[in-house]
Chain A
């Protein structure tokens, strides 16, 4: 069973770019039919889907975040990446990566990583 592990800075300054990676172990990120997504959860709040990508580069993002979000796959490193620009305190959250098929549920999740936006 593949495993996902998020990593990245735990503290980001306002107006800067948040950058996270999700390392996939035990399986290839370029395996056909699997999509790779990011979900976040602000402290004490609900889950918010950020976006999803496929290894061929096709990407889907939440419309309200689309202008600030970049999601891509690095097949050579078997990693998924998230970049969120111009962050504010409202972007403070636990960020999860997850695997799914198109038009499918989220079965495989990473453990999540907390990112705090603060000066």
Chain B
């Protein structure tokens, strides 16, 4: 099984800060990676797919990059409404796996 890890597990930043979350796959997955945002009590929302393609309607301050085993999600200017947990998910095969999540808070 391919394992997904994320770092950090949590972070706290100021409004306007640049925030970077890392996701790593235990084996290469090309660009078959998605990022989701989940606010407390809500359904996960797709932010980015194919590692770097922004889902329609998602603010442009979110961006994704990477290929193979190492991926990043960047929020260029953190906003209060970005407080959430962020998950990566690989889909290079029929067996999906999520990362453990990164909780983002405002200082």
Interface residues of B (CB under 8 A from A): 1, 32, 34, 36, 38, 43-44, 46, 49-50, 55, 85, 87, 89, 91-101
Minimum CB–CB distance for A36 against chain B, Å: 13
Q: How far is the CA of A84 from the CA of B85 in the complex (A)?
A: 27
Minimum CB–CB distance for B89 against chain A, Å: 7
Q: How far is the CA of A37 from the CA of B21 in the complex (A)?
A: 26
Number of interface residues of A (CB under 8 A): 22
Minimum CB–CB distance for B22 against chain A, Å: 16
**Which residues on A sit within 8 Å (CB–CB) of B44?**
47, 96, 106, 109
**Which residues on B sit within 8 Å (CB–CB) of A47?**
36, 38, 44, 87, 89, 98, 101
The answer on a CB contact under 8 Å between B94 and A52 is yes
Q: How far is the CA of A117 from the CA of B79 in the complex (A)?
A: 38
